[in-house]
Structure 1
Amino acid sequence: MTSFAPDSIVLNRKLPLWYQVSQSLRASILGRSPQDPLRLPTEEQLAGHYGVSVLTMRQALKELEDEGLITRHRRRGTFIEPGVQRGAPVRLLGSVDAIVAQQSGMVAKLLEHGSSPVSGELAEYFADVDEVATYHRLRADERTGEPTNHARNYVRPELAERIGLDDLARWPMTKVLRDLVGVRIGRITDTVEARLADPETARLLQVPLLSPILHYTGVTYDEDGQVLDVAVIHYRGDRFSFTVTLDAD
């Protein structure tokens, strides 16, 4: 049986190591193929993979266990929970892997893609181009099929040539740009607002008109400060909450 192989990450020493490891593992678990095994490697093997202590690894696994993604059994090992509900809080702690993890475990349907002129709202981000590539996707829980959010991404046109549409059905744009297109992400600025569902959002997310939603805007920059992608996402208010953790340092 093929062993579970979580993604490798470069750990940021300014963030709690257990958190970064848990988010990387979460993304790997939710992005796994149905035929992949449910049993995880041992704590020692995972700790060696990430280059952290066993104590840090245990703390990361406890976070996933508390969330209901895994179960741990003495002497038998650690197993991915096959019936887990993928809807989860929106959590922001400064890690790109946290954003990847947030949107993994969902299936995405590409509603439309193409190009559009840079509108007034986007002009501050794309001052040097006249058009941007656009992608509109509807995400749903992969087990229940229930819609969870719909997202529009506005991407620099020169990157669009390297974005595979099939990849967007599985992965969030952040992962596609970083791991598949190969750009080096410097930072992501996130804004979350409480809004009411407009007619399009109500129809796509199957919620009543004017029901509460979370309106998220994420701006992705490269290491030189150039904007790569602007994501506008509408989350169902009954499926997501918003949590921010601040490091005292």
Structure 2
Amino acid sequence: MTSSFAPDSLVLNRKLPLWYQVSQSLRASILGRSPDASLRLPTEEQLAGHFGVSVLTMRQALKELEEEGLITRHRRRGTFIDPAARRASPVRLLGSIDAIVAQQSGEHTTILGHGPEPVPGDLAAYFPQCPQVVTYRRLRRDGENGEPTNWAHNTVRPEVAERIDLADLERWPMTKVLRDAVGVDIGRITDTVEARLADPVTAELLQVPLLSPILHYTGIAYDGAGQVVDVARIHYRGDRFAFSVTVEAR
């Protein structure tokens, strides 16, 4: 049985254009829809009432989604989601190193840059008595010339970075490189996922509008002795990923 399409609610920010906020919220709802959701959207009036905006603002938001190819609009028939609109892939935190490695993987990885840097102030607590760290920036795509899906910024202890082969980073996620290629005994990883707005760097790399929603993942990897060896910060496109957590009841 097909369920009706229900867009998420939205708290509007008066500093941004209303049509843009509505279009981005509706965009995320379309790409994050359940597999059995109806492809037919509510009417313009119903959507305007749901978001608390005028019908004119709603039409402008729908026009943006139509130009993007996510919806089609038919006179007298209504507005429909394009069946080809890709649903979001979940970011799953399942509690194992292998699950994290699988989540960080991508079809094609490009190294944007790497090198030593002073320890950033917000990471100083993780690298005590360590004047410098080595950072790695990488972009992942769906295939060599495909759409960008996420970009990663890793901060690694220098003595560990000395043993990292860049060729491995083009094939594998950092966690796998540290564990399987460098031989680091990873004891645990602490994960945090939060919603953010795309800054200029992220917007350009992921080819999304400035201030559009993204998922920001931070993973802090500790070795067996409890020392931080890597801080990974990964920026996922909000229209391609969703946050999912599995909790075992027993």
> For the superposition of Structure 1 and Structure 2, which TM-score range results when normalised by the shorter chain?
0.5 to 0.7
What are the ranges of 5 or more consecutive residues in structure 1 without an aligned counterpart?
1-84
1:143 Cα deviation from its structure 2 partner: 6.5
Q: Which has the larger radius of gyration?
A: 2
Aligned pairs (5 A) from 1:1-249: 88-142=89-143, 145-249=146-250
Q: State the distance in 1 between where 2:208 and 2:182 align.
A: 35
Q: State the distance in 2 between where 1:117 and 1:143 align.
A: 32
1:142 Cα deviation from its structure 2 partner: 1.8
1:104 Cα deviation from its structure 2 partner: 2.4
Which sits farther off after the overlay, 142-151 or 210-219? 142-151
What are the ranges of 5 or more consecutive residues in structure 2 without an aligned counterpart?
1-85
Q: State the distance in 2 between where 1:162 and 1:178 align.
A: 12
C-alpha distance after superposition, 1:120-141 (max 9, x if no partner): 1111100121100100011111
C-alpha distance after superposition, 1:84-118 (max 9, x if no partner): x9x73110011000011112242111111001111
1:160 Cα deviation from its structure 2 partner: 1.0
Q: 1:128 to 1:248 in 2, by over 3 A?
A: farther
C-alpha root-mean-square deviation of aligned residues, in Å? Answer: 1.7
Q: State the distance in 2 between where 1:187 and 1:126 align.
A: 16
> For the Cα contact (< 8 Å) 1:113–1:135, is it kept in 2?
yes
Letter in 1 for 2:125: E
- Normalized against structure 2, the TM-score is what? 0.63
Report % sequence identity. Answer: 71
Secondary structure, counterpart of 1:136 in structure 2 = strand
Runs of 4 or more off by more than 3 Å in structure 1?
none
> For the Cα contact (< 8 Å) 1:88–1:102, is it kept in 2?
no
> For the Cα contact (< 8 Å) 1:192–1:216, is it kept in 2?
yes
Give the count of matched residue pairs.
165
Letter in 2 for 1:165: L
Secondary structure, counterpart of 1:91 in structure 2 = strand
> For the Cα contact (< 8 Å) 2:108–2:144, is it kept in 1?
no
- Normalized against structure 1, the TM-score is what? 0.64
Letter in 1 for 2:217: Y
